[in-house]
Amino acid sequence: MSVEKTVEGEKAVFRVFIDGPRQAVWDELTKPGEPQAAIFHNVMHTSGGVAPGSVIQMRSKNGKYVGMVGEILEVDPPRKFAHTLRFTQLDEPETVVVYELDEKEGGTQFTLTVEKLVADNKTGKYMIQGGPMICSVLKSVIENGNAPFGNRILFGVLGALAPVMTPKRCKAEHWPLEAAASAAEGGAA
C-alpha cells in the first residue's frame, strides 16, 4: 500500500487508491457522532450538519477533548469535502483540508490536500506526518473493515494517555460548539 506524497510550498498532497466504492469512503469521512479511525479515532461534531458554514470539531471518543476546530467550506457528495483546520493546542494559523474522491475502475482514488500550509510550524509538521497515516488507515478501514493493528494499538495508547498528555486548553468545556457557531455567524461567542 503506497501513499503518494508531494509537498511544495504551501501545499501538501497525499493520494492513495482504495479498493472500495466512493460512497463508502465518503460515508466514513463525513460520519458525525462516531469514531473515525482515519482521523485518529476522533469523533466529528458539527454545528449544523455536514454543510458549508457549519463549525466542525474533532473530539476525543469520550468527548472530553477537542483536538481540532474549523469551518466546513465545501460539501459535494460523494466527491469533495473541504474545511479549515486549527489544532486547539496550538496558536497557529489555520490550514485548509480538502478531501477529493474520484471514482476509478475497481475503487476510489482518494486525495487529501492541505492548503495554506506552513511546513516549518507545528501544524504543518503534524499535517505532513499525519497525511500518509490518514490515507493508509482510511484505505484499511474501507478494504478490511478496521484500522491496521498497529494503529489500533496507537489509538488505544493515545486514548489512555489523553488525561495526562492533553493540554487543559483542549478540554471540551473550552470549545463549546454553540459559541463557535455563533461566532462563525458573526454573533458574539
- pLDDT 10s digits, 91-140: 999 999 999 999 999 999 999 999 999 988 999 999 999 999 999 999 99
**Percentage of the chain modeled with pLDDT above 70:** 94
CA angle at 174 for the pair 183 and 56, rounded to the nearest 5°: 55
Distance between CA 50 and CA 36 in Å, rounded?
15
pLDDT of residue 26: 98
Nearest-angstrom CA–CA distance, 142 and 145? 6
Distances (CA, A) of 6 to 1, 12, 131: 16, 6, 10
Handedness of CA 19, 21, 26, 32 (dihedral sign): negative
**In whole angstroms, what is the distance from residue 119 CA to residue 186 CA?**
31
How is residue 19 written as a grid cell? 479498493
What does pTM read for this prediction? 0.90
Note the pLDDT tens digit of each residue in 63-76.
999 999 999 999 99
| Alpha-carbon span 88 to 94, nearest angstrom | 10
Q: Which residue has the cell 492548503?
A: 115
Per-residue cell: 99:
478531501
Mean pLDDT calculated for residue range 137-154: 88
Contact yes or no for 29/81 (Cβ under 8 A): yes
Residue 149 confidence (pLDDT) above 50: yes
What is d(CA 162, CA 182) in angstroms, rounded to the nearest whole number? 28
